[in-house]
């Protein structure tokens, strides 16, 4: 019986093949603030589906708003970025307390499937309106909102397939470019969309598959020895 590398590849591919992934539908998105720092001087509120933070004193307080995208969101395919909601930074001159950091948790309900919770941490840089403190040496200074880590990867199962959902970051151009932060202009409400995606989770090779792969490798070795012996 003759074995070759192509046959081995076909055998391994057959063992690692997973059930086909189909498009998912998100039937609900629910956001919440977590771990607000500092713990005093920053107020939380909600209006409809929008959650808000406010801080500082002045003619207008600064703050964050997050409004989830309307649902259902249908036909979502793996490895395709999609908007989770609109993030708004109200950037106004203030005195007193400023936000340092906060976690944003987003609960995503898969239609007919599980509730997937994803969290990411952001830091807030409330810059001083002085040229020496400005990122672009202009006044008034832009503030900076930055995702500081990737807490947002979550594994879930649906329809016999394992997936990984991840928060990707912010986009201000409809998803053409996505980054871990953005600069916000003074005396304006600055908006960006928060994007995420899901991918098919890697499928581990079953123990039987490793045994078969080992057997095939052994046959390769035997074949090479026989070829050398008859050479």
- Rounded distance, CA 65 to CA 50, Å? 7
Give pLDDT, residue 57.
87
- Rounded distance, CA 71 to CA 42, Å? 30
Identify whether the C-beta of residue 180 lies closer than 8 Å to the C-beta of residue 40: no
Identify whether the C-beta of residue 53 lies closer than 8 Å to the C-beta of residue 43: yes
Among residues 127, 124, 125, the alpha carbon closest in space to that of 102 is found at: 124
Give pLDDT, residue 132.
53
Burial 151-169 (b: 16+ CB within 10 A, else e): bbebebebeebbbbbbbbb
- Rounded distance, CA 5 to CA 33, Å? 54
Q: Is 30 exposed, middle or buried (0-12, 13-18, 19+ CB in 10 A)?
A: middle
pLDDT per residue of the chain (231 residues) written in tens, 0 to 9: 343 444 343 333 333 334 457 799 999 999 999 999 999 999 999 999 999 999 998 888 999 999 999 999 999 999 999 999 999 999 988 888 999 999 999 999 999 999 998 888 989 887 765 555 555 545 456 777 887 655 557 899 998 899 999 888 999 999 999 998 888 888 899 999 999 999 998 765 454 444 544 554 554 444 555 555 555
What DSSP designation does 203 have? P
Identify whether the C-beta of residue 119 lies closer than 8 Å to the C-beta of residue 103: yes
Is 5 strand, coil or helix? helix
Six token digits for residue 169: 């970051």
Walk across the sheet containing 82-91 and list its strands: 42-47, 50-55, 62-68, 82-91, 188-200, 161-171, 154-158
Give pLDDT, residue 182.
85
Angle at CA of residue 104, ends 21 and 173, nearest 5°: 70
Give pLDDT, residue 11.
37
Give pLDDT, residue 119.
86
- Rounded distance, CA 45 to CA 28, Å? 20
Give pLDDT, residue 185.
85
| Residue boundaries of the structural domains of the chain | 23-200
Give pLDDT, residue 131.
52
Phi, psi of 202 (to 5 degrees): -55, 140
Strands 101-110 and 115-125: antiparallel
Give pLDDT, residue 13.
36
Give pLDDT, residue 33.
97
Identify whether the C-beta of residue 61 lies closer than 8 Å to the C-beta of residue 174: no
């Amino acid at each position: 019986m003759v074995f070759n590398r192509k046959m081995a590849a076909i055998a391994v591919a057959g063992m690692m093949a997973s059930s086909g992934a189909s498009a998912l539908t998100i039937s609900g998105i629910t956001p919440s603030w977590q771990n607000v720092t500092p713990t005093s001087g920053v107020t939380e509120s909600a209006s409809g589906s929008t959650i808000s933070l406010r801080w500082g004193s002045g003619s207008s307080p600064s703050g964050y708003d997050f409004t989830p995208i309307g649902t259902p969101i249908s036909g979502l395919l793996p490895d395709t970025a999609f908007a989770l909601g609109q993030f708004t930074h109200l950037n106004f001159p203030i005195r007193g307390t400023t936000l340092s950091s906060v976690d944003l948790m987003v609960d995503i309900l898969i239609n007919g499937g599980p509730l997937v919770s994803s969290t990411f941490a952001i830091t807030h840089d409330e810059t001083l309106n002085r040229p020496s403190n400005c990122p672009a040496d202009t006044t008034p200074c832009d503030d900076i909102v930055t995702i500081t880590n990737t807490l947002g990867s979550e594994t879930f199962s649906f329809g016999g397939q394992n997936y990984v959902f991840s928060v990707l970051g912010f986009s201000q151009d409809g998803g053409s470019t996505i980054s871990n932060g953005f600069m916000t202009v003074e005396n304006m409400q600055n908006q960006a969309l928060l994007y995420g995606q899901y991918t098919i989770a890697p499928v581990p090779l079953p123990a039987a598959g490793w045994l078969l792969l080992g057997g095939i490798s052994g046959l390769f070795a035997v074949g090479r020895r026989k070829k050398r012996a008859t050479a």
